A and B are shown apart, each in its own frame.
Chain A
Amino acid sequence: MPGKPKRLLNKNSLGWDLVQNKSLYLLMIPVLAYYLLFHYLPMYGAVMAFQDYSPMKGLFGSDFIGLQNFFDFFDSYYFWRIFGNTLIISFLSLAFEFTTPILLALMINELRSQKLSSVVKTVSVFPHFISLVIVCGMVKDFTSMNGIFNEIFKLFGYDGLSMLQKPELFRPIYIISGIWQNIGWDSIIYIAALMAIDQTLYEAAEIDGAGRWQQLWKVTIPCILPTIVVMFILRVGNIMNVGFEKIILLYNPINYETADVISSFVYRKGLIDFQWSYAAAVGLFNSVINLGLLLVANRLSKKVTQSSLW
């Protein structure tokens, strides 16, 4: 029995592996099918970006117009504004929404009381389960003319106008509410990584005379660094993907200048103005930049920390 496959298949070949681990491969099929069906198959729709697409004519019947949609976008009066806003909001959220969960995880890790730690975890995760529409409704209410934040800031000399009516306040509102909503949820993965750290390392450090700070810097951080790097790379790959939902729930013509981003622009073009092909072209442009950033981040991290996605 064991002799036969040896003759037919090389030990390093895929076929050999398939036979050896067939149950594992079987387990993989649903996931593979999911990606093929929902992530790779729909990609043919990107053809739309090079067409004057009309749903009734379909992808095969619509006229090809080459790169016209892309040129139209680069020529658009709003190109630099939405491009800039997308970058700024992305980097701000990378700087704050990405780092704060790590800090929270470290702080929870340092808590001595089990009870307090689980209370903090529950309370901080909770906002994640509130629907985004409701979160934005709350933000709007709290920052409106008679909203609670407005009333509080009035005590410190704020003029009392609705905060979303001020372009310069849009980004802070966007980022702070984002932190509030996701800090607990995003910290879960770091907490898990922290729990996986071998306790003997701490004991050894203590014997060597390391204080709490030194333990943090010399043991904890290096141990969860691979997790942070992977999360960072994934995040960078998404840097241009500022979700349109939250933006369109919060923006209005007064704060367009700081709030309008590529995805909200695509949403308006595609679903409100009917320019499907144009919207597809803008979306494709966005994805290409994302892919580039992902490759760069991965390369960099390989060089600097030796950990990378592939």
Chain B
Amino acid sequence: MMRLRISSLLIAVVLLLSVVLPTTAQVYPLKNAPTLTYWMNVNTAWSNRFKTLGDTTFGLELAKRTGVNVVYTHPVPAQFDQSFNLMLASGDLPDLIQNNFLTKIPGGPDKAIKDGYLLRLNEAIAKWAPNLTAYLKAHPEVDKLVKSDEGNYYAFPFIRTDPYLMTYQGPIVRQDWLDELKLPVPVTIDDWTVMLKAFKEKKGATAPFAMAPYWGPTNAAWQSPAFVGAYGTLKNWYIDNGKVKFGPSDTQYKEFLKLFAGWYKAGLIDPNFALSDAKQRDAIYVAGMSGATVANIGGGIGYLVKLMEKVDPKARFVAAPYPVLKKSDKPEFGQMDLPFTGVAIAISAKTKNLETAVRYLDYGYSPDGAMFYNFGTPGVSYNMVGGYPTYTDFIMKNAKLSLQEAMGEHIRGSSDGPFLQDKRYAEQYFLLPEQKAAATLWSSTNAAKHLFPNLSPDKADIAEMSKIMSEVNTYVDEAFIKFVIGAEPVENFDKYLATLKQLKIDRAIAIYQKSYDDFLKR
């Protein structure tokens, strides 16, 4: 009897204390936390050596630190979208789901909440996620992006905390060829034409400008703001002085088509561009058939230099600025992400462990957790050197693993997830001076003025929007390739615009304009 009373008294005191003193130090590791299930994409940085993220050093340590065991499910990368849709259709949902909830769920997050897939997290975040709440309070511009149109929090966002992390892609050319041909790094479109011609004629390149995909199967280099941006439009949605615009329905778009059609006819573009995949892309470079493309800093410049090391050790790649028409112009468009692009971890409506899930996800936004997500364990993957978290040689100069692989095993800073991404990760990830220069060069554009925010139209308009855009996108892709390869002469551009009208592109623009106006009022 007595024993029981003392122990219950003790429990009461502990409970009282935990209510009175809710410091983060006491939150983690969580006590007696149930196991969570987590559905997310794989990352090639670890997926060829580990079955799930939970098996990596990072995953094991995270479980220890948070006190939460997580069972991960990873769909096959090539069937990512289908697996996601099938999972939703089956109604058999894990606790945590990671995806881009702005682009991958037609109708957007608000509809997903209404349809009963995801939970609205406003109350739960206020109650159990003090770290995320604090960050969003301190950064209202990010808060605006993270919230849905209807003011719902629907997920724990992957947040890039510095502009340095938001620009990572642009045109690159082979420096050693430029040197040999005594050409400058191209600035204007005309420079580009001259350079590509020289590559073809003097270097024997059969695909001077390669357009194979660098960052996913559908986003080939022609989707990039480079080139099309020089004519004052984009391959996608953008904002121009408060007006929503759809690039492929702009009249300037014709000039861009003319350029590419001309290049294609002159043999300056990879003739198989529409079908090339990553394997063919590598083959093109190894064979010395190409000297320019659009690429990422890490997976592009770094990757290509490494790839060429064996075949042509002289090969060097340098970033070129986003091309312009006149030398004095500042590029109007360039690749630039928002701090939050929609990649986030949502909690499914099927969860029975809401509090644990929220607390677990909140860890990455705490000072301690953010350090762990970005840099791993002190003494193992990084050391503090003069206040700067410096990766150890184990990460930077691992004899067995590439930098990407070593990072994939120990941190999540080099991919995405529920945390605040740190600039200091990227500063060390970009090893080559060319890479460091690229980030600065590519970010000197006016892209920020045209950034298209995460919009989710009204419920009534969503179905119409997705119906219109699925036809429009098919048509735009198809027409682009036909114009470029000359199957359709560019003179027929007016017919193309008329077809877009027939597909109700104006209505789609109007719907987005309305939600953009709402966004500004958020």
Question: A residues touching B (Cβ–Cβ < 8 Å)?
Answer: 52, 54-57, 72, 76-78, 144-145, 161-162, 164-165, 167, 252-254, 256-257, 268-269, 271-276, 278
The 5 closest A-B pairs by CB, nearest first: A56-B116, A253-B477, A274-B106, A54-B115, A253-B478
* Given the contacts A77-B502, A253-B478, A256-B478, A274 and B466 also touching, CB distance less than 8 Å: yes
* Given the contacts A56-B116, A254-B478, A273 and B470 also touching, CB distance less than 8 Å: yes
Residue B471 is within 8 A (CB to CB) of chain A in the complex: yes
Nearest-neighbour CB distance to chain B for A283, whole angstroms, equals 15
| Other-chain contact of A165, B86, B275, B463 (Cβ < 8 Å) | B275
B478 contacts across to A, CB distance below 8 A:
253-254, 256-257
Residue B105 is within 8 A (CB to CB) of chain A in the complex: yes
* Complex Cα–Cα for A268 and B85 (A): 12
Is the contact region of chain B dominated by helix, strand, or loop, or is it mixed?
Answer: helix
Residue B162 is within 8 A (CB to CB) of chain A in the complex: no
Q: Which residue of B lies closest to A146 (CB)?
A: B283
Verify B85–A144 contact, CB threshold 8 A. Answer: no
Task: Type the 1/0 row for B78-122, where 1 means its CB is closer than 8 Å to any CB of A.
Answer: 000110011011110000000000000111000000011100000
Most A-side CB within 10 Å, residue of B280, B349, B467, B470: B470
Verify B466–A252 contact, CB threshold 8 A. Answer: no
Verify B475–A77 contact, CB threshold 8 A. Answer: yes
* Complex Cα–Cα for A257 and B470 (A): 16
* Complex Cα–Cα for A252 and B217 (A): 12
Q: Which of B462-496 contact A (CB under 8 A)?
A: 463, 466-467, 470-471, 474-475, 477-478, 481-482, 485, 487
Verify B115–A76 contact, CB threshold 8 A. Answer: no
Nearest-neighbour CB distance to chain A for B496, whole angstroms, equals 13
Q: Which residue of B lies closest to A58 (CB)?
A: B91
B89 contacts across to A, CB distance below 8 A:
55, 276
* Complex Cα–Cα for A167 and B3 (A): 83
Residue B446 is within 8 A (CB to CB) of chain A in the complex: no
Known: A165-B274, A254-B485. 6 other contacts (CB 8 A): A54-B115, A78-B474, A144-B272, A161-B271, A271-B85, A274-B466
Nearest-neighbour CB distance to chain B for A80, whole angstroms, equals 13
* Complex Cα–Cα for A234 and B91 (A): 36
* Complex Cα–Cα for A274 and B82 (A): 10
Residue B503 is within 8 A (CB to CB) of chain A in the complex: yes
| Other-chain contact of A272, B81, B115, B275 (Cβ < 8 Å) | B81
| Other-chain contact of A55, B88, B105, B271 (Cβ < 8 Å) | B88
Verify A56–B117 contact, CB threshold 8 A. Answer: yes
* Complex Cα–Cα for A76 and B81 (A): 24
A161 contacts across to B, CB distance below 8 A:
271-272
* Given the contacts A274-B85, A274-B105, A56 and B274 also touching, CB distance less than 8 Å: no
Q: Can you spell out 7 A-B residue pairs with CB atoms less than 8 angstroms apart?
A: A54-B115, A72-B467, A76-B471, A77-B471, A268-B470, A273-B106, A274-B85
* Complex Cα–Cα for A54 and B115 (A): 7
Nearest-neighbour CB distance to chain A for B382, whole angstroms, equals 41
B88 contacts across to A, CB distance below 8 A:
55
* Complex Cα–Cα for A271 and B88 (A): 11
Is the contact region of chain A dominated by helix, strand, or loop, or is it mixed?
Answer: loop
Nearest-neighbour CB distance to chain A for B400, whole angstroms, equals 31
A278 contacts across to B, CB distance below 8 A:
467
* Given the contacts A269-B470, A271-B86, A274-B105, A252 and B115 also touching, CB distance less than 8 Å: no
* Complex Cα–Cα for A165 and B276 (A): 10
Verify A272–B274 contact, CB threshold 8 A. Answer: no
Verify A162–B116 contact, CB threshold 8 A. Answer: no
Verify A254–B471 contact, CB threshold 8 A. Answer: no
B107 contacts across to A, CB distance below 8 A:
274
Q: Which of B254-283 contact A (CB under 8 A)?
A: 271-272, 274-275, 280
Verify B275–A162 contact, CB threshold 8 A. Answer: yes
| Other-chain contact of A271, B82, B106, B280, B349 (Cβ < 8 Å) | B82
A72 contacts across to B, CB distance below 8 A:
467
Verify B474–A256 contact, CB threshold 8 A. Answer: yes
Most B-side CB within 10 Å, residue of A52, A56, A144, A268: A56
* Given the contacts A78-B471, A271-B85, A254 and B274 also touching, CB distance less than 8 Å: yes
Q: Which residue of A lies closest to B104 (CB)?
A: A274
B481 contacts across to A, CB distance below 8 A:
253-254
* Given the contacts A165-B272, A253-B477, A57 and B106 also touching, CB distance less than 8 Å: no
* Complex Cα–Cα for A161 and B485 (A): 11
Most B-side CB within 10 Å, residue of A57, A161, A165: A165
Q: Which of B155-201 contact A (CB under 8 A)?
A: none
* Complex Cα–Cα for A269 and B466 (A): 10
| Other-chain contact of A253, B85, B116, B274, B466 (Cβ < 8 Å) | B274
Nearest-neighbour CB distance to chain A for B473, whole angstroms, equals 10
* Complex Cα–Cα for A271 and B80 (A): 11
| Other-chain contact of B272, A162, A272, A274, A275 (Cβ < 8 Å) | A162
A52 contacts across to B, CB distance below 8 A:
463
* Complex Cα–Cα for A161 and B107 (A): 40
B274 contacts across to A, CB distance below 8 A:
165, 252-254
A167 contacts across to B, CB distance below 8 A:
487
Q: Which residue of B lies closest to A78 (CB)?
A: B471
Most B-side CB within 10 Å, residue of A72, A256, A268, A276: A256
* Complex Cα–Cα for A284 and B116 (A): 27
* Complex Cα–Cα for A191 and B347 (A): 59
Verify B272–A56 contact, CB threshold 8 A. Answer: no
Q: Which residue of B lies closest to A270 (CB)?
A: B85
Verify B466–A57 contact, CB threshold 8 A. Answer: no
* Given the contacts A54-B115, A253-B478, A272 and B85 also touching, CB distance less than 8 Å: yes
* Complex Cα–Cα for A276 and B81 (A): 14
Verify A254–B482 contact, CB threshold 8 A. Answer: yes
Q: Which residue of A lies closest to B275 (CB)?
A: A162
Nearest-neighbour CB distance to chain B for A164, whole angstroms, equals 6
Verify A56–B349 contact, CB threshold 8 A. Answer: yes
B470 contacts across to A, CB distance below 8 A:
268-269, 273, 275
Nearest-neighbour CB distance to chain B for A141, whole angstroms, equals 10
* Complex Cα–Cα for A273 and B475 (A): 15
* Complex Cα–Cα for A161 and B206 (A): 12
* Complex Cα–Cα for A77 and B107 (A): 22
Nearest-neighbour CB distance to chain A for B255, whole angstroms, equals 22
* Complex Cα–Cα for A144 and B471 (A): 28
B81 contacts across to A, CB distance below 8 A:
271-272
Nearest-neighbour CB distance to chain B for A306, whole angstroms, equals 47
Verify A55–B91 contact, CB threshold 8 A. Answer: yes
* Complex Cα–Cα for A178 and B60 (A): 49
Q: Which residue of A lies closest to B469 (CB)?
A: A273
Most A-side CB within 10 Å, residue of B82, B89, B91, B477: B89
* Complex Cα–Cα for A77 and B500 (A): 10
Q: Which of B359-389 contact A (CB under 8 A)?
A: none
B467 contacts across to A, CB distance below 8 A:
72, 275, 278
Verify B275–A252 contact, CB threshold 8 A. Answer: yes
